[in-house]
Structure 1
């Protein structure tokens, strides 16, 4: 049987700052990414199925569909629609698909899943929903999908807009 003192007994020195690394994060886990205009956006990780980097030639264009759609992708045996996230949100700057890999964030709810092609995935962050503010400077096309924003002050002000994955999934913009 181990006691708590057995678990604490060690010959290894305690590193400075190691206790801070063990503290419980505040807030919820979010995936941060950018769209071609440079806006930084976040999605709650709970609604994200996975994030993949795929070659653009794995996305099959589908004729006579919305210009928001890049095409379809076979993601682990399931065929999903892939959208240019910036265009979907009303951004005029198209996603550069002339590169070796595209970052796709697959979001899902029940049986529905779509892929959101983004400019760059910045990583995952714990963000506190209690500090979210109403979004400012949001286009009319983006507004239905934005829950609010975080404003971080630093060398330059960083604004991260929180998207609503259910609103994206249930949007009539898919036109399918």
Structure 2
């Protein structure tokens, strides 16, 4: 081979090497590149072990939803005052158009009581005093196994008056055990309602039903009078 031919052959050889892909120089491979290039195999369990775990998981109950209990709103309890009783309306006595009344006197003052409100008349007898009673309480009189409460009527209607000892009779009020001591019985009379100046309200004298016009005397309201006596108060309410 001539020298020129040999040179030509060497040139073509090197040219062919230049035309091939140049080799990539050695470079450090990064972890990211290594992870991309190298497939990572997923860990797998052996079949018996995997089946056992699945059985255990199947026995675990599903978590229950937690429902919070509703918060009760407690309203403050307001104590209510008991309702006040309705006021007691004073009512006067009811009588027939014409009715009978008994009249009696106490220290010169005349009183009348309808016979329908009269519980009886007794001759005044021995009295037994009781401690702790008002000044106008004269004592207790025994009458047919009944203990009758005797009122010193004069002292009840006139608190400043001294006790009277010469009472003769006891005027019983209704079916109660209370009686008014009196000096003289003045008999009974028929009265017409028109002869009475009736009261329409209690005012300061709830025991007074009205005034008998021609006699200018008080007609007693027995029910109200008994209320005062049982309360232990006199004509002035004390």
Place the TM-score, normalised by the shorter chain, in its bin. Answer: 0.5 to 0.7
**Number of equivalent positions:** 134
Q: Which structure 2 residues correspond to residues 1-176 of structure 1 after superposition, within 5 A?
A: 27-36=98-107, 38-55=108-125, 58-90=126-158, 92-94=160-162, 96-97=164-165, 99=166, 102-109=168-175, 112-134=176-198, 140=204, 143-152=205-214, 158-171=215-228, 174-175=231-232
Structure 1 pair 32/103, CA: closer, same or farther in 2 (3 Å)? same
Higher relative contact order (CA 8 A, sep 6+): 1
Structure 1 pair 75/90, CA: closer, same or farther in 2 (3 Å)? same
- Residue 103 of structure 1 deviates from its aligned partner by 0.9
Judge conservation of contact 2:196–2:211 (CA < 8 Å) in 1. Answer: yes
- Larger helix proportion of the pair: 2
RMSD: 2.5
Structure 1: runs of 5+ lacking an equivalent = 1-25, 153-157
Judge conservation of contact 1:47–1:165 (CA < 8 Å) in 2. Answer: yes
Q: For 2:164 and 2:105, locate their aligned partners in 1 and report how far apart those are by CA, in whole Å.
A: 13
Judge conservation of contact 1:96–1:119 (CA < 8 Å) in 2. Answer: no
TM-score, structure 2 normalization: 0.50
Structure 1 pair 84/173, CA: closer, same or farther in 2 (3 Å)? same
Structure 1 pair 83/174, CA: closer, same or farther in 2 (3 Å)? farther
- Residue 173 of structure 1 deviates from its aligned partner by 6.0
Compare CA radii of gyration and give the structure with the larger one: 2
TM-score, structure 1 normalization: 0.66
- Larger strand proportion of the pair: 1
Q: In the alignment, which residue of structure 2 is the partner of 1:22? A: none
Q: How big is each residue's C-alpha offset from its partner over 1:40-94, in whole Å with a ceiling of 9 and x where there is no partner?
A: 1101111212111123xx1111122111100011122111211012222345434
